[in-house]
Structure 1
Amino acid sequence: MSGFRVEDEYDYLFKLVLIGDSGVGKSNLLSRFTKNEFNLESKSTIGVEFATRTLRIDGKVIKAQIWDTAGQERYRAITSAYYRGAVGALLVYDVTRRATFENAVRWLKELRDHTDPNTVVMLIGNKSDLRHLVAVSTEDGRQLAERESLYFMETSALEATNVDNAFTEVLAQIHHIVSSRKAVEATDENAAHSVPSRGETIDVKDDSSAWKRYGCCSS
């Protein structure tokens, strides 16, 4: 039994991607969620990094494989391979830097150009702990999320506010979609003709609520 870990067994493996401008805190969101760590001196690195975390959702063991651009956004070198197979995305901006919020629409377009149109996407306003420097209001974030049919949450990787909630909500929505589709396949022999054959493709049209709004939890 040497080397066995509970994380080695799972019911579903979901790939998530982190996107957004450089310096918005993507790497710290990833390390906070997967290792409960935060590095104030975090530097951008070149290449693609990913980390995993296994958790239980609705009685199923979900393994999340989360990819981080790790500095590539500085050079616009992100390729379609980064997005391939992703069923969820966290689009991150810095609430203290208006430009990172305005660029979110461009990031969303790139994401939609490279993934299934029904990929679960959550808009993340990070660094909510810097309340005295806020340049993007919660309402601005909510309005963009509503307009683009995204989920929305404000987070602080530094204070660990809403980080678990954000990742878990995305994974729960993906699992809900996959479970609903499997139920349809099991009960309707004709469903196979209308269900995409690629394993990574999901259909959020099964979910009656296309988007939800979340505010930032007060500390």
Structure 2
Amino acid sequence: MQMQQIQVKTVFLGDANVGKSSILCRFIDDQFDENIQATSGADFKVKSITYNNKKIDFHLWDTAGQERFRSLTQLYYKDASVACIVYDITNRNSFEVLNYWFKELKQHAKENIIKIIIGNKMDLSQQQQVQLDKAQTMAKTNDAILVLTSAREGTGVQEVFQKIAVQIEQSQSEQIKQKQATKIMKPQEQKKPSCC
């Protein structure tokens, strides 16, 4: 049986220095670079995983966090299937900015975009400024999934992409059900007597 192949455009959003590039570096190469360069504009990478006999090709867009790049960022998420919005658990401001990103996604992204909130830098939990219940409320309010990570230690990074894979599978099975329901309805619609 041939493995199904799915391409998933995934965009990483969030403030500068929250660890977007570090999370991707950990996911793709299983490495952590203390001196990783800040992203300018956007950076593109590809990584595949296998999930439930499906090959998922993640087309990963790492966007710059600086405010001056925000108008450009819209180009990357308007047709994305997944948005990962990253904050730094030791920086309350980076968490407050999530409200801006959710508003942007509501206005410009696909209606059924999968939203993941990533609370990064769990290795610095003793400096934590964002409490877990606040992050959970933010996720619930915005119909998003919350994952806590440490790009430095590698904690939670694979989990982010496993959760995306689960969501993609669920969304695909819903689409199949809708198509089947439409097929069932169509013959009934055709039986309507024509007037005149």
For the aligned pair, the TM-score class normalised by the smaller chain equals: 0.7 to 0.9
Q: TM-score, normalised by structure 1?
A: 0.77
Q: How does 1:106-125 map to 2 (within 5 A)?
A: 106-125=100-119
Q: Secondary structure at the match of 1:49?
A: strand
Kindly provide the amino acid, as one letter, of the partner of residue 169 in structure 2. H
TM-score, with normalisation over the residues of structure 2?
Answer: 0.85
User: Mapping of 1:22-41 within 5 angstroms?
Assistant: 22-41=16-35
Residues of 2 paired with 1:165 and 1:15: CA distance? 18
- Please say which structure displays the higher CA radius of gyration: 2
Q: Partner of 2:72: helix, strand, or coil?
A: coil
| Equivalent residue runs for 1:28-177 within 5 Å | 28-177=22-171
Distance 1:25 1:158 in 2: 9
1:114-136: CA deviation from partner (whole Å, max 9, x where unpaired) = 21122110111100110111001
For residues 45 and 12 of structure 1, the distance between their equivalents in structure 2, rounded to whole angstroms, comes to: 27
Q: Distance in 2 between matches of 1:12 and 1:63?
A: 6
- 1:12 equivalent to 2:38? Answer no
- Structure 1 or 2: larger helix share? 2
Aligned 8 A contact 2:63 2:73 in 1: no
Q: How many residues align?
A: 184
> Quick one: distance in 1 between partners of 2:129 and 2:44?
30
Amino acid at match of 2:108: H
- Provide the identity percentage: 34
| Contact 1:22-1:74 at 8 Å conserved across structures | no
* TM-superposed deviation, 1:49: 0.7
- 1:67 Cα deviation (Å)? 0.5
Q: In 2, are the aligned partners of 1:126 and 1:156 still within 8 Å (CA)?
A: yes
Instruction: Assess, with a 3 A threshold, how the Cα gap between structure 1 residues 187 and 107 changes in structure 2: closer, same or farther.
Output: closer
Q: Report the Cα distance in structure 1 between the residues aligned to 2:42 and 2:64, rounded to whole angstroms.
A: 6
Unaligned 5+ runs, structure 2: 187-196
Q: Is the 8 A contact 2:47 2:57 kept in 1?
A: yes
CA deviations over 1:196-217 (Å, ceiling 9, x no partner): xxxxxxxxxxxxxxxxxxxxxx
**Judging changes above 3 Å, is the alpha-carbon distance between structure 1 residues 166 and 70 closer, same or farther for their aligned structure 2 residues?**
same
CA distance in 1, matches of 2:71, 2:173: 35
What's the RMSD between the two structures over aligned residues? 2.0
Q: Which range moved further: 63-72 or 182-191?
A: 182-191
Equivalent residue number for residue 182 of structure 1: 176
